Amino acid sequence: MNHTKSSYDVIISGAGPVGLFLACELALAKCSVLILEKAEDPHLPLKQLPFGIRGLSSPTIEALYRRGLLNELEIHKIIKNPHANTVQGGPRRQAGHFAGIPFHDGDIDTSQWKYRLPSSTETILISEMAELETILSRRTEALGVEIKRGLALTSLEQTADEVTVQAGDQSFRAQWLVGCDGARSIVRKTAGFEFAGTDPEFTGYSAKVDIADPEKLKPGRNPTPTGMYLQSQPGFLIMQDFDGGEFHNSEKPITLEHVQKTIRYISNTDVTIKALHFASTWTDRARQATEYRKERILLAGDAAHIHSPLGGQGLNLGLGDAMNLGWKLAATIQKKAPKGLLDSYHIERYPIGAQVLDWSRAQVAIMKPTPQSRALHAIFHDLLETRDGATYIAGRVWGIHTQYDLGNAHPLVGHSVPNFEFEDGTKIGEQMKDGKGIFLDFNTNTSLKALASEYEDQIKYVSGRAKEQFNLSAALIRPDGIVAWASNEELNEPAFRQAANLWFSK
Ligand SMILES: Cc1cc2nc3c(=O)[nH]c(=O)nc-3n(C[C@H](O)[C@H](O)[C@H](O)COP(=O)(O)OP(=O)(O)OC[C@H]3O[C@@H](n4cnc5c(N)ncnc54)[C@H](O)[C@@H]3O)c2cc1C
């Protein structure tokens, strides 16, 4: 058995987007990180166009922007005009969907989002998994993270001081292990995390095929009495078969004959599949680890929660985990964490994950091929045509409403900080590349700098008048961009210290 290095601060199992982003956060804070990745080739077919397309929501876009990664997304396009359709003579642009029911740009009343500024980043972008992983891999390498590809973690053991993992014939040690190894996480299973939730209603298929008689299938998204099929591009099929997840669970090979039988059944046609290039299945099983931490082992991303890809939130949820966990774990390793900081990861992220699971369950409930679901679907269709309905759904899908329960001292506390724009044109989000906390002083009272400096290199002091600052005088922003404290009054030092001491130590 080989030990390549005596010990790392953190081993991450899985170089998917969540593992890579977490590694960046840890390395930014100067932690030593090893990533073990099972696959030799990061660019599996399902990570490339068109199946690799992912909708990035507001918290993810903000996270990439704040760490200086957003501009590197070359293929990103604002989802403003993917499916223009025409209603009452005017073009309406689809801005997203709920259970396949579209909602439209013009119906969304952004004035209801009080703290979103015009200088904010986009609310939604589309990106490709493969591209996102390439950008994140490049950043991890630049930050000195070691990635070993083609080496799967197979077993683990933890003591009070460290975790030892086995991968191939090698063994590695670290203070902490984070399982970012996806839905079938070995870390989760081996460490005995409970994974609670609900069973699937359907098997979903993503398949690339050659069709002999494509005219037999209708274009667009087609709910049918037995399921749903969609051709996103010629030959790229997505199907939902409400078989209770039976085929997916059987782990049988996905043959051409099976794909043909399924599409014929769902579309009620005799369409012929000539060739099958690749296929993958997924379900709406919705499960979540009841704890995200067991002593020195943590879970993030799909390893911690799974749900159907409807509404496309899994990647965003996982990257949110990584942004929340990175600085807390780094501070713990560097002995700068106040009591309870690391446990706040589960406390904050578990409820957000639970909401996303419920969001996906709600969509399945109205997509089922039953008369009851069809009736509910029609009602939701009408609701999404209303301004309040579209605004509510957009706010949820785009993550605008995400807020941690950090007490209610000020309405901004627990929210992502608005992208305040200073009078010289710079924006607060541009000051977050180094992953430090920020004490934002709008009144440029330089004596407050001393207060921030008590927290040494953990809190940066930034001062200046903003073009729109919602009557705030000062705010404390955590390294993940969440407002920890805010005030409209003259600075109340004890209140500030009390808030700062929850997240930072002197
Ligand atoms: C069809 C489909 C469409 C989707 N669309 C969207 C969308 O639009 N928006 C969105 O937000 N989400 C979407 N998702 C969900 C999103 O893709 C996942 O939530 C996201 O990829 C999770 O990232 P992750 O890093 O946690 O896990 P993964 O991307 O699964 O990465 C896990 C990594 O761990 C590796 N690994 C596994 N086992 C081991 C081991 N034992 N040792 C070492 N490495 C291991 C794997 O090889 C893999 O590279 C979609 C999912 C599907 C299936």
Percent of the chain whose pLDDT exceeds 70 = 93
Identify which of 220, 237, 201, 230 has the alpha carbon closest to the alpha carbon of residue 369.
Answer: 201
Check whether 363 has a pLDDT greater than 60: yes
Q: How far is the CA of 197 from the centre of ligand 1 (A)?
A: 19
For ligand 1, atom 52, which residue shows the shortest CA distance?
309
Domain-located, residue 400: no
**Gap between the Cα atoms of 288 and 350, Å rounded:** 8
User: Which of the pair, 123 or 119, is modelled with greater confidence?
Assistant: 123
Identify which of 26, 55, 44 has the alpha carbon closest to the alpha carbon of residue 133.
Answer: 44
Lowest mean pLDDT among 88-92, 176-180, 382-386, 472-476: 88-92
Query: What's the mean pLDDT in 469-486?
Result: 95
Q: Are residues 168 and 262 in the same domain?
A: no
Helices 343-367 and 371-384, interaxial angle, to 10°?
Answer: 110
pLDDT of the residue at 48: 59
- The CATH number of whichever domain residue 322 belongs to comes to 3.50.50.60
Q: Give the number of domains in the chain.
A: 3
Helices 314-333 and 17-28, interaxial angle, to 10°?
Answer: 30
**Gap between the Cα atoms of 231 and 220, Å rounded:** 6
Peptide bond into 50 cis (omega under 30): yes
Chain-centroid distance, C-alpha 61: 10
Among 315, 319, 352, 360, which residue has the most ligand 1 atoms within 8 Å of its CB, making it the best to mutate? 315
For ligand 1, atom 7, which residue shows the shortest CA distance?
312
Residue keyed to tokens 């921030």: 452
For ligand 1, atom 49, which residue shows the shortest CA distance?
16
Domain-located, residue 127: yes
Average pLDDT, the chain: 90
Domain boundary, last residue among 298, 330, 355: 355
Q: Are residues 348 and 487 in the same domain?
A: no
Domain-located, residue 385: no
Q: How far is the CA of 217 from the centre of ligand 1 (A)?
A: 30
Count of all residues that appear for the chain in the document: 506
Q: Are residues 294 and 256 in the same domain?
A: no
CB-defined site of ligand 1, < 6 Å: 13-19, 36-39, 54-55, 152-153, 180-182, 186, 206, 282, 301-302, 309, 312-316, 318
Residue keyed to tokens 């005799």: 270
List the structure tokens of 65. Answer: 């922007």
pLDDT band at 78 (very low <50, low <70, confident <90, very high): very low
Q: How far is the CA of 306 from the centre of ligand 1 (A)?
A: 10
Q: How far is the CA of 199 from the centre of ligand 1 (A)?
A: 19
Which pairs from 426-429 meet CB under 8 Å and 24+ separation?
427/119, 428/462, 428/466, 428/477, 429/62, 429/65, 429/66, 429/121, 429/481
Q: How far is the CA of 314 from the centre of ligand 1 (A)?
A: 8
pLDDT band at 92 (very low <50, low <70, confident <90, very high): low
First to last CA, the chain: 42
Beta bridge partners of 460: 438
For ligand 1, atom 21, which residue shows the shortest CA distance?
315
For ligand 1, atom 13, which residue shows the shortest CA distance?
312
Is-contact 403 103, C-beta < 8 A?
no
User: Which of the pair, 316 or 93, is modelled with greater confidence?
Assistant: 316
Domain-located, residue 371: no
Q: 3-state class of 163 per DSSP?
A: strand
Identify which of 306, 312, 166, 323 has the alpha carbon closest to the alpha carbon of residue 245.
Answer: 306
- At 430, which amino acid appears? E
Q: Are residues 30 and 167 in the same domain?
A: yes
Q: How far is the CA of 375 from the centre of ligand 1 (A)?
A: 33
Q: How far is the CA of 17 from the centre of ligand 1 (A)?
A: 7
pLDDT of the residue at 83: 43
pLDDT of the residue at 450: 86
Check whether 85 has a pLDDT greater than 80: no
User: Which of the pair, 71 or 13, is modelled with greater confidence?
Assistant: 13
Among 36, 181, 202, which residue has the most ligand 1 atoms within 8 Å of its CB, making it the best to mutate? 181
pLDDT band at 94 (very low <50, low <70, confident <90, very high): confident
Q: How far is the CA of 19 from the centre of ligand 1 (A)?
A: 10
**Gap between the Cα atoms of 480 and 33, Å rounded:** 19
Q: Are residues 229 and 184 in the same domain?
A: no
List the structure tokens of 260. Answer: 């043909």
- The CATH number of whichever domain residue 225 belongs to comes to 3.30.70.2450
- The CATH number of whichever domain residue 473 belongs to comes to 3.40.30.120
pLDDT band at 74 (very low <50, low <70, confident <90, very high): low
Domain boundary, last residue among 331, 355, 379: 355
Domain boundary, last residue among 222, 249, 283: 283
Among 302, 325, 397, which residue has the most ligand 1 atoms within 8 Å of its CB, making it the best to mutate? 302
Identify which of 479, 484, 491 has the alpha carbon closest to the alpha carbon of residue 444.
Answer: 491
Parallel, antiparallel, or unpaired: how do β-strands 236-241 and 297-299 relate?
Answer: unpaired
User: Which of the pair, 448 or 430, is modelled with greater confidence?
Assistant: 430
Domain-located, residue 81: yes
CA distances from 145 to 7, 149, 150 (A): 14, 13, 16
Ligand 1 nearest atom to the CA of residue 315, by list position: 11
List the structure tokens of 184. Answer: 């079938």
Among 35, 36, 54, which residue has the most ligand 1 atoms within 8 Å of its CB, making it the best to mutate? 54
pLDDT digits (tens, 9 = 90+) for 250-297: 989 999 999 999 999 999 999 999 999 989 999 999 999 999 999 999
**Gap between the Cα atoms of 85 and 94, Å rounded:** 8
Domain coverage including residue 240: 203-283
Domain-located, residue 415: no
Q: How far is the CA of 255 from the centre of ligand 1 (A)?
A: 23
CB environment 404-437: b (16+ within 10 A), e (fewer)? bebeeebebbbbbbbbbbbeeeebbbebbeebbb
Domain-located, residue 172: yes
Q: Are residues 434 and 463 in the same domain?
A: yes
pLDDT of the residue at 409: 81
pLDDT of the residue at 441: 93
Ligand 1 nearest atom to the CA of residue 167, by list position: 42
Q: Are residues 220 and 169 in the same domain?
A: no
Q: How far is the CA of 182 from the centre of ligand 1 (A)?
A: 5
Q: How far is the CA of 263 from the centre of ligand 1 (A)?
A: 26
